Amino acid sequence: MTKNDDRLFLITGATGNTGRTAARLLLERGHRVRAFVHREDDRSRQLAAAGAETVVGDLLGLHDVGSALRGVSGAYFCYPIAPGLLDATVTFAQAATEAGVRSVVNMSQISARREAVSDQARQHWLAERLLDRTSMLTTHLRPTFFTEWISWWWGRQGDEGVLRLPFGNGRHAPVTGADQAYVIAAVLERPEPHDRQVYPLHGPVEMDHHGIAEAVSRALGIPVTYEPISVEEFADGLASQGAPSHLIQHLSNVAVDYRNGVFRGTNNLIEVIGDRSPLTVEEFVIGRRHDFDHNGPRFTPPKPAPDGSWRHITASRIRGLHPHRR
């Protein structure tokens, strides 16, 4: 590790998908990192062990955020899909202004639009506009769906797998949280050329979910199918898992956006800005093989067959290891 300079960076959402790798990259590059964590646990202890200064706090708390921003040069602002994004953004903007923070990388999403029906997506758009009104150098990241989705909604029974999602024949190029972190770190290190930029972030290959199922099948060597389901079944599945209504409202509406092409596209921003070759779906699954041994945390099971399996739903559609695309 070489000491680059003594700038201090604040990483919020530091135990999440994007934040933990962004923190690690900046530490490896010799920077000082303050990791803003929601709670102390194994994830925060790993950050501390890697050399980060960890502070426990709530992004909705002006005192917590204000203290965390003292002495900070640049910050990654990342709020989860949860109520309170606008409160958190206003709090962050005021505290960062008071602390003289020079730049912010803001996690938004590709569906952020003035007219978005999803509350979270519309609030992301408003949050971007608010941050653009500060004197900070601001950069907004608008990723498409993360590759991690595949493991969250993955269903496994015996030697076959299924993706049950409400995405019709819509398409996107899945992008991992870790690959996005390379862009976050690069922009924090050199924010000037990225001021007031909005960057859609995509993975390397655009595909529909039949294609994604084929890629997972190749990686695991088992048959995998995509079962398109209705938005209503998807929302009911989330509700039966006890998912918060804000999340259900968001995901149901972006499912419609997805079908309408809002999540489509690909580009080379991960390479050009992050100097990183983004992972394909196959590479991601091979690297996380153990996550596919069992159902993902969000799997929506179909109504069970009399023998308790869902083989009747998938097997009839499987032709060999790599189901044909429909």
Ligand X SMILES: NC(=O)c1ccc[n+]([C@@H]2O[C@H](COP(=O)([O-])OP(=O)(O)OC[C@H]3O[C@@H](n4cnc5c(N)ncnc54)[C@H](OP(=O)(O)O)[C@@H]3O)[C@@H](O)[C@H]2O)c1
Site for ligand X in 173-192 (CB under 6 A): 177
Write down the H helix ranges in 201-274: 209-220, 231-240, 245-259, 269-274
Cβ closer to ligand X: 291 or 302?
A: 291
Q: Which residue has the tokens 């196959």?
A: 282
Q: What is the DSSP letter of 232?
A: H
Provide DSSP, 33-98: EEEEESS-SHHHHHHHHTTPEEEE--TT-HHHHHHHHTT-SEEEE---SSTTHHHHHHHHHHHHHH
In whole angstroms, how close is the CB of 145 to ligand X at the nearest point? 4
In whole angstroms, how close is the CB of 286 to ligand X at the nearest point? 20
3-state helix, strand, coil in the chain (%, to 5): 40, 15, 40
Asked if 76 is part of the footprint of ligand X (rule: CB under 6 A), the reply reads no
Which H or E run includes 10? strand 8-11
Asked if 248 is part of the footprint of ligand X (rule: CB under 6 A), the reply reads no
In whole angstroms, how close is the CB of 140 to ligand X at the nearest point? 11
Asked if 60 is part of the footprint of ligand X (rule: CB under 6 A), the reply reads yes
Query: What gap in Å lies between CA 177 and CA 146, rounded to an integer?
Result: 6
Cβ closer to ligand X: 38 or 311?
A: 38
Stretch that binds ligand X, among 58-66, 128-136, 204-212, 219-227 (CB under 6 A): 58-66
For 260-289, b where at least 16 C-beta lie within 10 A, e where not — what string?
A: eebbbebeebbeebbebebbbbbbbbeebe
Asked if 50 is part of the footprint of ligand X (rule: CB under 6 A), the reply reads no
Among 5, 39, 45, 312, binds ligand X (CB under 6 A): 39
- Report which residue's Cβ sits closest to ligand X: 16
In whole angstroms, how close is the CB of 17 to ligand X at the nearest point? 4
Exposure of 215 in the CB half-sphere (CA atoms within 13 A): 21
Asked if 79 is part of the footprint of ligand X (rule: CB under 6 A), the reply reads yes
In whole angstroms, how close is the CB of 238 to ligand X at the nearest point? 14
Structure tokens at 265: 């596209």
Among 8, 10, 17, 284, binds ligand X (CB under 6 A): 17
Interhelix angle 19-28/177-189, rounded to 10 degrees, is: 50
Among 91, 109, 138, 280, binds ligand X (CB under 6 A): 109
Cβ closer to ligand X: 80 or 302?
A: 80
Contacts of 106 (CB under 8 A, 6+ apart): 77, 127, 128, 131, 138, 139, 140, 141
Asked if 78 is part of the footprint of ligand X (rule: CB under 6 A), the reply reads yes
- Residue span 122-161 as binding mask against ligand X, x where in contact by CB under 6 A, dash where not: ---------------------x-xx--x------------
In whole angstroms, how close is the CB of 112 to ligand X at the nearest point? 8
Among 7, 50, 58, 248, binds ligand X (CB under 6 A): 58
Give the burial class of 46: count Cβ atoms within 10 A of its Cβ; 0-12 exposed, 13-18 middle, 19 or more buried: middle
Among 9, 10, 19, 138, binds ligand X (CB under 6 A): 19
Applying CB under 6 A, the residues found at the interface with ligand X are 13, 15-19, 38-39, 58-60, 78-82, 107, 109, 120, 143, 145-146, 149, 177
